[in-house]
Amino acid sequence: MTTPVIGVCAAFEPARWGFWDQQAAILPATYLEKVRTAGGLPIGLVPDPRATARPELVLDRVDGLLLIGGVDLEPDTYGAARTERTEATAPERDAFELSLARAALARDLPVLGICRGMQILNVAAGGTLHQHLTDAGFAEHRRSPGRLDSATFHEVDVVPCSLAESLSGSGVQVVNSHHHQGVDALGEGAVVTAWSIPDRLPEAIEFPSCQYALGVQWHPEVDHLQHALTAFVAVAARPAREDQPA
């Protein structure tokens, strides 16, 4: 098996290191280590208007796309008006990641979305989001802000023989949560393959027409879940498909 290059979309946030305090592209080490452990070579993808306009500039150079967690999506990306419940957003990052996600789905490039990344996949396919889950009648899914430890654990029901099963196992599984928004209307071609217990919030979506296109609302990159990204990386390592655009 070749070593697949996995493009990891970076957050773009204020950061401090050494003497510096400025905007920076941020790639949490937990995501990078999970990709490496699965056999992939992670490289950072930084928002750039040229790649937003022409996503092939990025996607022609990677074998898989990983969309990581982060801030809220701008509501106008899914046709909604902003309410007071919308928190921090990153419009440039939204545009970049939505463009890459749409193009990845169209060319059947393996793509995995985590937390915000699952929401990006759904919106890229024309779906919508709840701007605040408790207002929509769902449970609190951010019980411990800034942490992903045992206080954030909850159960999900995972569909057998799904991509979500290859990540977590099927049936009732324990995952973690750190989000206050979630999937409302499903994007075109998406199906739900895991739901939160007991509130039935979609916790995993995938696109059966694609070889690997999965979004999960939880955080499999943290060590204590023991959720490996091997299935995602293995698909990305397959030889180029004849039907993939040049």
The residues annotated with a catalytic role in the active site are 115, 219, 221
Q: What are the distances in angstroms from CA 229 to CA 113, 232, 234?
A: 12, 5, 9
Judged on CB neighbours under 10 Å (0-12, 13-18, 19+), 130 is buried
Question: Which residues, listed in sequence order, are joined to residue 44 by a DSSP beta bridge?
Answer: 8
152: which 2 tokens? 């954030």
Provide the 8-state DSSP code for 62.
-
Residue whose pair of structure tokens reads 């979506």 in the numeric block: 205
In the structure encoding, which two tokens stand for residue 229, read together? 């990204």
CA–CA dist 88, 104 (Å, integer): 26
